[in-house]
Chains A and B, each alone.
Chain A
Amino acid sequence: LAKTTQPISMDSYEGQEVNITCSHNNIATNDYITWYQQFPSQGPRFIIQGYKTKVTNEVASLFIPADRKSSTLSLPRVSLSDTAVYYCLVVGDSSYKLIFGSGTRLLVRP
């Protein structure tokens, strides 16, 4: 499985757009990119997944360039409740095993 690298922490303010970039240089052809969110005292929660180009849902957007060696999770107009740890993962299409790194701790300030 491809190793992922993402910032350890990020700070933002309410109402701003937050972009968290993850690098995965060794991603394989059949791998997908998926993002999870974890609040304190809760298990991780699936946010979004994509293979290439752009994916959008009610929570976030995921941008994946053509070479797929990186991806960017975009959170529009964050609120205090978006303070959490965000994990970028690369998953194989067949095994679909989630291997977590340390994630990015996002702190949203008033």
Chain B
Amino acid sequence: EAGVAQSPRYKIIEKRQSVAFWCNPISGHATLYWYQQILGQGPKLLIQFQNNGVVDDSQLPKDRFSAERLKGVDSTLKIQPAKLEDSAVYLCASSPDRDRRIYGYTFGSGTRLTVV
């Protein structure tokens, strides 16, 4: 079974520029999550999708962050414009509707963003 795919692996941009991250979840996983992990901290949930609908985006800074999951499969997370404090690893995870208690979430390796 293929894992959660994320790209790019690394990205360096200047502040006020825009950036987009892509995630392809495990096939058949209805739920998709984006997390932000700042160095030395645990991951912080940004947004949760169920199929192509948003379940929870309460922690998403909507003035600069946006996310979409068209057709209920892959997803993109965008930052526009980026700030220095957005430097972090952006993790995508997916989980099945059933048996989440058995299998948990599956995370990708993340995209490391550096804003200079």
A44 touches B43 (CB 8 A): yes
Q: A44-B43, A102-B42 are in contact. Are A32 and B101 (CB under 8 A)?
A: yes
| Interface residues, chain B, with chain A CB atoms under 8 Å away | 4, 33, 35, 40-45, 48, 56, 91, 93, 95, 100-110, 112
Candidates B104, B106, B112; contact of A34 at CB < 8 Å: B104
Given A43-B93, A49-B101, 12 more pairs with CB closer than 8 A: A32-B101, A43-B43, A43-B110, A44-B105, A45-B107, A46-B106, A49-B102, A96-B101, A97-B45, A99-B45, A100-B35, A102-B41
Size of interface on A: residues with Cβ below 8 Å to B: 20
- CB pairs A–B below 8 angstroms (13 shown): A36-B104, A42-B110, A43-B93, A43-B110, A44-B43, A46-B104, A46-B105, A49-B101, A98-B45, A98-B105, A100-B44, A102-B41, A102-B42
